[in-house]
Structure 1
Amino acid sequence: MEDVIREVMEGINAISKERGRVIDFKELLYGYYRVNPRLGVDYILDLLLVYKKYRGRKMIFPVRRHAYLQQAFGPLQLRRSPLVAHESSNRIHFVLPLSGRLAIFQRFMNNFQRVCVEPDENVRLVIVLYPTMENEDPSDEIKSIVLAFQRRIRGRKLQVELIERQEAFARAAALETGKSSCQLEDDCLLAFIDVDMVFTEKTLHHIRSHTIRGRQVYFPIVFSQFDPSFRAPLTYSVDSEIAVDVFEIDDDRGYWRFYGFGIVSVYRSDLERVGGMNTSIHGWGQEDVDLYDRTVAHADLAVFRAPDPALVHVFHPIACDGSKLTDKQKKMCIGTRAGTYASQQRLARYWIDNHSYAGE
């Protein structure tokens, strides 16, 4: 800011001798600035100046002026980036917390079959299964699906494992359990995933490329679908198959989850450096924000954020049970549920189509 103000004053006083006056900077009262990645930095500065006239009738008085400035970036330059050492075939250890949701799990495994099993990717899927605490608990069906997968992939480098827990579901505890399933001497590449996600082989490349041991943690920005019933007259239904258009990205189908941090890839050693998962958090949400905040605050780790069109959160209804959530968790849950109804344009059209106005 001092450099900007100095350049401004030099420009103002460039012809001060010809005009017989000089203007001195006294103080910056307030200002605004914004960065445009394509153009530069824009400034609006409220400056208190001192006008000094030394030719003819001499006078000195304060002047307050607004300065509108743009500090332009230089021309774009391309340079070769140093290669980051990472193995293109480095094993990815997916950790999937799960409680119930049989059809959704079947859809996830269908996607996992296509992306990881058929090309025989070097991945390991750890499913941490919790009971639903309800009469019709589908845990036995889920275990049957996992057992069938294990039989099909026997003798291959790809692995699918199941860890059963007998307490109430807690995502942070499930992720910590999945992390601990790695051998202690194996600084494994962890990828925390949700059962509502579908992805492509590009996601595997992004995880391996953007997660750097001891330097960088990858928090991808996922595309989250809106309620499909706003786009079609059909009501929502759970389908174990993957929709053909699931990876079509536009503003009417969903939104980028810029404030969602639940999907993350990190090396085990780096997760332990920031203190691991906070297992005191139970219920919906907040454990991902807690991990993100601690990672951002760590002096030696950078956070990499980027939209991933190959990583889609498929819509599902959100239930915010106030009896099981803290006030902060409930507020976050209700906000997320409100954001998944539809786009602003679609909601406006819905309002116009379903409300009549007086005199019409």
Structure 2
Amino acid sequence: NPKIKLETCRKLAKILYFKGQANLHVFEDWCGGSTADLRKNPHYPLYPHSRTMVQKLAVTPQWTNYGLRIFGYLHPFADGDFVFALSSDDNSEFWLSTNHSPLNLHLLVWVGKTGKEWTAPGEFEKYANQTSRPVRLSSQRRYYFEVIHKQNDRGTDHVEVAVSAPAFLFHKFTIIESKHISLYVNESSLLMSDVDHIPQTAASHQRTSTKQHSSAADMLMEDPRDTLHKGERRLRVLPDCLYKPSYIIKDFPLMRYQGLQFVHMSYIYPNDYTRLTHMETENSCFYPESPYYMKRFGFSRYMRLDRPNEQRIENGGRGILISIPFPQFVKKGAELNASITWRFTTPRRSSNRVIKRSKEVVTHSKNSNVNMAKKQIMNIHDKEVQGINKNSWSDRRREGSQREESENDNRADNEDLTPAPVFDTQVNWNQTFQVNQLDLHAKRSDWIDLNCNISGNLLLHPTDALPIVKAFMDQLNEKHKGRFTLVRVVNVVKRVDGSQGSRYLLELELKDLNGQLLRLTQYVYALIRHGRPRSRNFGLHRSRPQLVLCNPVGFRWHPFATVHFIVPVKNQARWVLQLIADMEQLFKESGDSNFNLIITDYSSTDMDVKKALQKSSLPRYQYVKLSGNFERSAGLQAGVDLISDDHSIVFLCDLHIHFPPSIIDTIRKHCVEGYMAFAPIVLRLDCGMTPAEAVGFWEVNGFGLLGIYKSDLDAIGGMNTRDFRDRWGGEDWELIDRIMQGGLEVERIYLRNFYHYYHSKRGMWNRRMSASLR
């Protein structure tokens, strides 16, 4: 049949055209040394940084923190049983199918699973799983294969697959060369957004056991705040009052970037566990002590050691142990810590320097008891000191030189010069202590702490939050005749104003008479009201100020306001696709269609952004194409200009963000038109970490992620596109200046489950690649 012959010839021509190379996908900027680390990369396996080809199965990019996926077809040169071997730094896997189909893939050999295993180049017998059992292959067929490789930031990076021919009884491994491999697909004409051709196999999606972190982040625990956006309402309960906080600085002249000094943190109740306790082994800045102090004394100053019934002085002939309990022997302000119990041990055979140092330490205390102890030490060891003087280090050096000059010294004499005995420290196992409850949160200020990026939200004490809730519930039931019962306090956010009165955001879960649950989210104002001075005994007596709970007129959030996420992009296909997928998931989980994704595209060449938006399931989106170099301020302003509703919220966003499911309603709650903008603090993930681990640090310096009503943004002049054209960094601080001068306040809190993915700046925006020097 001529048609069958023609089709066969086409297939053979395609195989010959593809032969000599294999597909290579590169995943950069991802830490870790195990293949499991690579598989948790959010871009793996469909969205690599680059897609290219390799001509043999031996690759060494001479780079760090990357992962490779090599796939294609293997063409055996003969029939028989082949043994495969794998070598790499760090971990790697070699998968082979029983035929040409990726569906029949099986793991054949591997180097390590934990990220700590590695081999030298060409070392194929270090681990038992590096070499395979004999595999029977036919030269008339092709076999689909995959190589997965992960490299960390150390060592000589390499991965190579070798094979032993059937004729060799004792395995002599040779690298698989170009004549024995072919492409799975030619990707040279495809965009980075084209992913339908990429095989998704057992190798790419296999889930191996990942290493568990020693202490998981408490922030990852379930919290009712995370689902508060479902079914909310407001109730008019309190009397109206004027909202005019004392910290508003409208029209106040500011120097550039000075507005940051007027942004204060809000307090949160109950504990939302945004403090990164799991990171404190690397950074303990939450505690007020300096690292030097912590290294020397630890937390001893928080403890008061219990005094023994009597001071023990033991002298067994080898030494003396004196336990001196403080603080009664140390004056206030002394350098030594008041809670430390010092123990001084004077060994029997020690040097003059040891004795001298002991005396210096003891003389820190000027108490007569300590001086008495010092005299005891000197009296008891007076003779021993004389002996030590005779055996000084200079004498020993002199004796050593004499031994070198004479090789016939008596060995028995040398045996007399035995080293001094070593004494172990005696441990007081039954030492007890006293401690007071430690509340370091109560000592924190609402000033932004730029020196500590793990501290998390300021915590509001229950004695502050619960009376406000009770007063509100009393007013609510008085008006609605006992219709509602408080089920739980979900969230309370307090903005402190010691002059006029503090503002509270109450988020409560209530139950009505029918047993139906409802969520109530409402701003209340604890107004400080001063009574008139009254006469008492022919003088004026100022009455004690009272807190009046009221409804701040005009200060209300709108539960159905549209939120516009504006993201400027250029040639970041994998991140754009990740953003679209995340927003689709956000819409699926929240069911909220009152949001809009606006992408301003600086003529990306690696994907068709508009087409990707059209193919998505997003309820609303807008796209604008820009030309020239990437400019963040101009890109954001171009997105703002697309919005026609001045009474909607603009959220100035970044491309590499992972949003919590409640982000839309969270932005709505903390943006109040004419009064307040919202600058949540994002958690920057460390290299190789995902939102499921929350390993990173809070970005306390950045204000680039900002929510504000469009009418307010227009009123302060929009984005500064004049001073921040070809650069970015600082445009967010400058915007804060104008927000504060415009009479608005900025709500600043650490936001749960709000992450910034790790990425380097290689190949981003306006950066260009330089030629390799290697």
Q: Same fold (TM over 0.5)?
A: yes
Query: Is contact 1:202–1:310 with CA below 8 Å preserved after alignment?
Result: no
Alignment of 1:276-287 (within 5 A): 276-280=718-722, 281-282=724-725, 283-287=727-731
1:126 to 598, 616, 619: 598
Match among 428, 436, 442 for residue 38 of structure 1: 442
Q: Is the contact between residue 570 and residue 603 of structure 2 (CA under 8 Å) also seen in structure 1?
A: yes
In the alignment, the residues of structure 1 paired with residue 693 and residue 752 of structure 2 have an alpha-carbon distance, to the nearest angstrom, of 8
Is contact 2:561–2:647 with CA below 8 Å preserved after alignment?
no
TM (norm. structure 2) is: 0.28
The answer to whether the 8 A contact 2:658-2:757 is kept is yes
| SS across alignment from 1:279 | coil
Where does 1:316-327 land on structure 2 (aligned, <5 Å)? Answer: 316-319=759-762
Counterpart in the other structure of 2:751: 308
2:731 equivalent to 1:291: no
Shift in alpha-carbon separation, 1:292–1:111, aligned structure 2, 3 A: same
Determine if the alignment matches structure 1 residue 101 to structure 2 residue 576. Answer: no
Deviates more, 1:78-87 or 1:277-286: 78-87
Distance 1:139 1:193 in 2: 20
Counterpart position of 2:612: 145
SS in 2 for 1:212: coil
SS at match of 2:662: helix
Comparing both structures, which one devotes a greater share of its residues to helix?
Answer: 1
Over the residues paired in the alignment, what is the CA RMSD in angstroms? 2.8
CA distance in 1, matches of 2:593, 2:754: 17
Whole-angstrom CA distance in 1 between matches of 2:721 and 2:692: 33
Bigger Cα displacement from structure 2, 204-213 vs 283-292 = 283-292
Change (3 A) 1:258 1:166: same
Does 2:684 align with 1:224? Answer: yes
Contact conserved, 2:557 with 2:670, CA < 8 A, in 1? no
Larger-gyration structure (1/2): 2
Shift in alpha-carbon separation, 1:170–1:39, aligned structure 2, 3 A: closer
* TM alignment of 1:71-220, pairs within 5 A: 76=464, 78-79=467-468, 80=472, 81=504, 82=524, 84-117=555-588, 119-132=591-604, 137-140=605-608, 142-149=609-616, 152=617, 158-183=619-644, 186-220=646-680
Residue 273 of structure 1: how far off its partner (Å): 2.3
Equivalent pair of 1:203/1:310 in contact (CA under 8 Å): no
Match of 1:273 among 712, 715, 718: 715
Number of equivalent positions: 226
Deviations for 1:138-189, whole angstroms, at most 9, x for unmatched residues? 142x22211212xx45xxxx31111111122111011111111111x53221
Aligned: 1:248 with 2:708: no
For the Cα contact (< 8 Å) 1:97–1:174, is it kept in 2?
yes
Residues 128 and 163 of structure 1 are in contact (CA less than 8 Å); yes or no, is this contact kept in structure 2?
yes
Distance verdict in 2 for CA 1:102–1:40, change over 3 Å: closer
Higher relative contact order (CA 8 A, sep 6+): 1
Q: What's the counterpart of residue 33 of structure 1?
A: none
Deviation digits for residues 65-107 of structure 1 (CA, Å, limit 9, x no counterpart): xxxxxxxx9x646314426522222211111111111011111
Offset at 1:320? 10
2:734 is matched by which residue type in structure 1? D
Counterpart-to-counterpart distance in 2, 1:37 and 1:104: 38
CA distance in 1, matches of 2:731, 2:721: 8
Q: Which whole-Å CA distance do the structure 2 matches of 1:40 and 1:182 have between them?
A: 40
Q: Is the 8 A contact 2:569 2:655 kept in 1?
A: yes
Aligned CA distance change for structure 1 residues 40 and 102 (closer, same or farther; 3 Å): closer
Q: Is the 8 A contact 2:685 2:756 kept in 1?
A: yes
- Partner Cα separation in structure 2 for residue 39 and residue 112 of structure 1: 39
Q: TM-score, normalised by structure 1?
A: 0.57
Q: Which amino acid aligns with 1:270?
A: D
Please say if residues 131 and 168 of structure 1, whose CA atoms lie closer than 8 Å, have aligned partners that are also in contact: no
One-letter code aligned to 1:144 = K
Superposed CA offset, 1:309-343 (max 9, x none): 2221000013599x98xxxxxxxxxxxxxxxxxxx
281-290 or 215-224, which moves further after superposition?
Answer: 281-290
Q: 1:246 to 1:181 in 2, by over 3 A?
A: same
Structure 2: distance between partners of 1:162 and 1:97: 10
Q: Are residues 217 and 284 of structure 1, via their aligned partners in 2, closer, same or farther at CA, if it must alter by over 3 Å?
A: same
- Structure 1 contact 189–265 (Cα < 8 Å) conserved: yes
Distance 2:717 2:441 in 1: 34
TM-fit CA distance, 1:37: 6.0
> Per-residue deviation at 1:117?
4.9
Equivalent-residue separation in structure 2 for 1:40 and 1:319 (angstroms)? 39
In structure 2, relative to structure 1, the CA distance for the partners of 1:320 and 1:147 (3 Å cut) is closer
Runs of 5+ consecutive residues of structure 2 not aligned to the other structure: 1-439, 446-460, 473-503, 505-523, 525-550, 768-774
| 1:175 alignment partner, SS class | helix
Residues 111 and 272 (structure 1 numbering): CA distance in 2 closer, same or farther, change over 3 Å?
same
Q: Distance in 2 between matches of 1:201 and 1:96?
A: 19
Name the CA distance, whole Å, in 1 between partners of 2:707 and 2:444: 32
User: How many angstroms apart in 1 are the aligned matches of 2:464 and 2:707?
Assistant: 31
Alpha-carbon distance in structure 2 between the residues aligned to 1:193 and 1:162: 15
Does the residue aligned with 2:734 lie in a helix, a strand or coil?
helix
Instruction: Classify 1:147/1:76 alpha carbon distance in 2 versus 1 (closer, same or farther; 3 Å).
Output: closer
From the superposition, tell whether residues 40 and 309 of structure 1 become closer, same or farther in structure 2 (CA, over 3 Å): closer
Flag the 1:260–1:175 CA change in 2: closer, same or farther, 3 A: same
Provide Cα deviations, 1:198-235, integer angstroms capped at 9, x if missing partner. 1022211210000110000001100011222xx7xxxx
The 8 Å contact of residues 198 and 314 in structure 1, kept in 2 or not, is answered as yes
Give 3-state SS (helix, strand or coil) of 1:38's partner. helix
Rounded Cα–Cα distance in structure 2 between residues aligned with 1:125 and 1:285: 23
Output the amino acid matched with 1:219: A
Partner SS state of residue 201, structure 1: coil
CA contact (8 A) 2:595 2:664 kept: no
Separation (CA, whole Å) in 1 of partners of 2:464 and 2:615: 54
Distance 2:593 2:692 in 1: 21
